[in-house]
Structure 1
Amino acid sequence: MTLATLSDVLQPALKGGYAVGGLVCLGWEDMRAYVAAAEAERLPVILQAGPSCRAHTPLPVLGRMFRHLAESVSVPVVAHLDHGYSFDECREALDSGFTSLMFDGSKLPLSENIAQTALIAEMAHRAGVSCEGEIGFVGYSDGAASQGTHPAEAERFAFETGVDAMAISVGNVHLQQNREGGLDEARIAEIDARTEVPLVIHGGSGVPIEQRARLARGTSICKFNIGTELRMAFGSALRSAVAADPDRFDRVQILREVEAPLEAAARSALRALAPEKEIA
């Protein structure tokens, strides 16, 4: 079994100058494709159950799915709760076998965010699993605007919460369908200079590939969350599979044709974050 905690995969990344992909899951087909991609690339992977995933499938079921997939490969697989919004939700994920809890208190006042995140980090650490927190709200494409991370607040947050990874807001946004943005590297450097904790970029799909690779090798950013570009690959493959035979109705047959293109997209995303010597 290769089930790992977030710290198990991020600490080597921090020391080795690379990052790990946090791949956003919505169902069985994408989970299976992501694990197959990680095994093919010989790289660790973080399977992430966000709010949309949890609305579709209960946490206890997701925990069993993630752990089953971890048993099927030889590379490290992290079972990660993404954007948990309450202590009870994080507790349920822990009880369901998750090895990493992400509490998102980024909309809360700083002191309250610190207090709640510290409580969940303590719970996680007592159970031998990891905790990710977020300081500075990461907005949404065509939605709520971001509130950038202040370096001094990031320093305080990292010290007072004891988190194993810290998500920051530095120009990244969720659900961005193109890579025309880019991150604020000066702000990243300021945060990097004040903290030692591995940094996390949510909304990684909107970050240019070249910048992802360079920041993974040259900063403390050790985790990029990748969701939108993989969902787009899934949707494109699904439309092609349905259009190829309009009379076909068996979803197992249709979805079988989606996994190979999705695995290829996931392999590309993971490879871009790998140690430089491993990038083809």
Structure 2
Amino acid sequence: MPLVAMTELMRRAKRERFAVGQFNMNNLEFVQAIMEAAELERAPLIFGVSEGALKYMGERYVVALARAAAEGSDIPVVLHLDHGSSFESVMRAIRAGFTSVMFDGSHLPFEENVRLTREIVRVAHAMGVSVEGEIGRIGGVEDDLSVEDEEAQITRPEEAIRFFEETGVDALAISVGTAHGIYKGRPKIRFHVIEAVARAIEAPIVLHGGSGVPEEDVRQAIALGVGKINVNTENQVAMTETIKRIFAEKPDVYDPRKYLGPARDAMREVVRAKMRLFGSSGKA
């Protein structure tokens, strides 16, 4: 089927208490692994593309890969810009064929974040494109985005509720203690913040930095209203560790298919496990 927006998926996820996984694409093997997992699990999925990955792969290749994956399947597939840094970059993604966009204005003053997000929602919705907004800064490192742990601000529920009411986003990312990248210890998730915001707004909450969050914490977050969880680091680690192992065992290997194929298989299993954990298996 054609690529879809995430609007209906998000509403259903919140209503039925499951989460749709956003799995970032970084090259062909990521796309294949994620799509194979979705087919096996019969799970809807969101291909996330950061601005760094977009630069690395090239806009036309990104859109072509996502379209090829979606059109060869009956699984609902969303192509989503992750952490769009400006109004211009979000508009460029929409023109290129993305069916969903995130504008990350969390570093801006509240009123400016609201103003820009509201304008993006107005344009995107007119084009049938869904929008994710962010309020509160999420820690860790992703591409060129870096927020020191001590700077990461836990979202205030009343601010998040007002942000949603004034922007009308389809999904809302809030800072509740998760972080991009690899955790130094167990993340301390503020479940009371998730509960307070999710209870007051229609849109589901988005959990960024989903790699490495303990399973019981993931289940509790979903039960409280998280409907979208982003995963990237665990796939990157699965690919890299597999390739390292193959090179250690077979130092003479030079055919990329001999190490990228097993790396793809490793990522597929990571994604399958996440889909089962998120409760999205069988929801396609």
Counterpart of 1:214, as a letter, is Q
Larger deviation, residues 47-56 vs 238-247? 238-247
Q: Deviations over 1:32-70 (max 9, x none)?
A: 100110110010011000133123122232111111111
Counterpart of 1:154, as a letter, is A
Q: Distance in 2 between matches of 1:59 and 1:213?
A: 35
Q: How many residue pairs get matched?
A: 277
User: Sequence identity of aligned pairs in percent?
Assistant: 35
CA-based RMSD: 1.8
After superposition, where does 1:110-121 map in structure 2 within 5 Å?
A: 110-121=110-121
Match of 2:229 among 196, 221, 224: 224
Are 1:144 and 2:134 an aligned pair?
no
TM-score, normalised to structure 2's length?
A: 0.92
Classify the secondary structure of the residue corresponding to 2:22. strand
Q: Distance in 2 between matches of 1:185 and 1:257?
A: 37
Q: Deviations over 1:232-264 (max 9, x none)?
A: 111111112222321121223321221111101
Which residue is equivalent to 2:276?
271
Q: Distance in 1 between matches of 2:69 and 2:79?
A: 10
Match of 2:177 among 171, 182, 195: 171
Are 1:210 and 2:248 an aligned pair?
no
Which residue is equivalent to 2:12?
12
Query: Could you tell me how far 1:226 is from its partner in structure 2?
Result: 0.8
For the Cα contact (< 8 Å) 1:199–1:222, is it kept in 2? yes
Q: Distance in 2 between matches of 1:234 and 1:73?
A: 24
Classify the secondary structure of the residue corresponding to 2:172. strand
Which residue is equivalent to 2:239?
234
Query: Could you tell me how far 1:176 is from its partner in structure 2?
Result: 2.4
Are 1:103 and 2:109 an aligned pair?
no
Classify the secondary structure of the residue corresponding to 2:179. coil
Bigger relative contact order, structure 1 or 2, given CA contacts below 8 A and separation 6+?
2
Q: Deviations over 1:126-150 (max 9, x none)?
A: 1011000000010116952311111
Classify the secondary structure of the residue corresponding to 2:206. strand
Which residue is equivalent to 1:154?
160
Query: Could you tell me how far 1:192 is from its partner in structure 2?
Result: 2.0
Which residue is equivalent to 1:250?
255
Which residue is equivalent to 2:204?
198
For the Cα contact (< 8 Å) 2:138–2:147, is it kept in 1? no
For the Cα contact (< 8 Å) 1:177–1:228, is it kept in 2? no
Q: 1:241 to 1:74 in 2, by over 3 A?
A: farther
Counterpart of 2:100, as a letter, is S
TM-score, normalised to structure 1's length?
A: 0.93
Q: Distance in 2 between matches of 1:267 and 1:122?
A: 35
Classify the secondary structure of the residue corresponding to 2:240. helix
For the Cα contact (< 8 Å) 1:237–1:261, is it kept in 2? yes
Counterpart of 1:137, as a letter, is R
Which residue is equivalent to 1:123?
123
Counterpart of 1:106, as a letter, is S
Classify the secondary structure of the residue corresponding to 1:46. strand
Q: Deviations over 1:81-111 (max 9, x none)?
A: 0000111111111111110010000000000
Query: Could you tell me how far 1:278 is from its partner in structure 2?
Result: 6.2
For the Cα contact (< 8 Å) 1:172–1:206, is it kept in 2? no
Larger deviation, residues 97-106 vs 62-71? 62-71
Which residue is equivalent to 2:193?
187
Which residue is equivalent to 1:76?
76
Q: 1:143 to 1:111 in 2, by over 3 A?
A: closer
Q: 1:57 to 1:114 in 2, by over 3 A?
A: same
Counterpart of 1:104, as a letter, is D
Counterpart of 1:267, as a letter, is R
After superposition, where does 1:26-41 map in structure 2 within 5 Å?
A: 26-41=26-41
Larger deviation, residues 110-119 vs 3-12? 3-12
For the Cα contact (< 8 Å) 2:42–2:282, is it kept in 1? no
